[in-house]
Amino acid sequence: MGSFRNLKVYSKAFTLAMNIFETSKQFPREEKFGLTSQIRRSSRSVCSCIGEAYRKRQFPKYFSSKISDADMENTETQVWFDFAFATNYIPKEKYESWVSDSEEIGRMLNSMMRNPDKFV
């Protein structure tokens, strides 16, 4: 079945996390240990949870649990989008694009949770 890196959801999550990383370089210094680190951490965690889940895919319940963790991190990332937008650190267009991408990732993760046998 290949590598987790071949999963479309992983690719989309990785691209979003890298976009967040690049954009967050412009956040104010005082946000370094707040918003900047939190949005980076949660967006990267989506990818790491997908990788961990894929490695344990022979155990459907574990797989679904780790994919659920990825979905949770994805939702947390959306909360940080809200803060970044509300504080005017990102423009509306970027906010809307990130939310759209994150919601698509969420739909893909939910499909994986409902159909773990497709990945065994």
Residue pLDDT, tens place only, 5-46:
999 999 999 999 999 999 999 999 999 999 999 999 999 999
Q: What is the pLDDT of residue 1?
A: 61
Q: What is the pLDDT of residue 27?
A: 97
pLDDT in tens, 51-107: 999 999 999 999 999 999 999 999 999 999 999 999 999 999 999 999 999 999 999
Q: How many CB atoms lie within 10 A of CB 22?
A: 9
Q: What is the pLDDT of residue 55?
A: 95
What is the C-alpha to C-alpha distance for residues 97 and 28, in angstroms, rounded to an integer?
22
Residue 72 in tokens:
């949770």
pTM for this one? 0.95
Q: How far is CA 59 from CA 30, 39, 76, 85, 86, in A?
A: 43, 30, 26, 39, 41
Question: In 3-state terms, what secondary structure has residue 65?
Answer: helix
